[in-house]
Amino acid sequence: MSDTAAVNDHLAELESELERLSKSVDEIHAAQEAATEAVSASKEVLSALKQVTSWYQKQQERDMEIGNEIHEVLDKISQVDFPSRLDKLDNTVSAVNLGVQNLRTDIQHLSQKFEEVEDHFASLHHALMLQRGMSFVIAALVVGGLIASLLLS
């Protein structure tokens, strides 16, 4: 029985090894599934990374364009001679103010002249009314004289 006992011992060892091998195979399958999931996740991360990289490059291009436009505007602004332009504007405003003052003076003179003409017309009107009154009196006297001479004759 020693052969049978030895075979049984070997079979028990073999069975033990097969159980260990089965557990190892199960662990390998689990590791394979985990590796497959890791590969899938890494593909997704890589895709997202590509999208972020593409977006970032586009943003850099836009930033460069905006930067170039800002430099162009700053160059144009720096070419403007503000002191000279402000002096010209100041001179223009001064000339307009002087023109307005001259117009006010002219309006005041015209107003005075208008009052003088109005006063002159008032005195002419008064003189005309006196002359009409005198003419009426003279006409009345002449008519009265004619009537009196006709009645006396």
Secondary structure string (H, E, C) spanning the chain: CHHHHHHHHHHHHHHHHHHHHHHHHHHHHHHHHHHHHHHHHHHHHHHHHHHHHHHHHHHHHHHHHHHHHHHHHHHHHHHCCHHHHHHHHHHHHHHHHHHHHHHHHHHHHHHHHHHHHHHHHHHHHHHHHHHHHHHHHHHHHHHHHHHHHHHHC
Whole-structure pTM value? 0.40
Q: For every one of its 153 residues, what pLDDT tens digit does the chain have, with 9 covering 90 and above?
A: 578 888 888 888 888 888 998 999 999 999 999 999 999 999 999 999 999 999 999 999 999 999 999 999 999 988 988 888 889 999 999 999 999 999 999 999 999 999 999 988 888 888 888 888 888 888 888 888 888 888 887
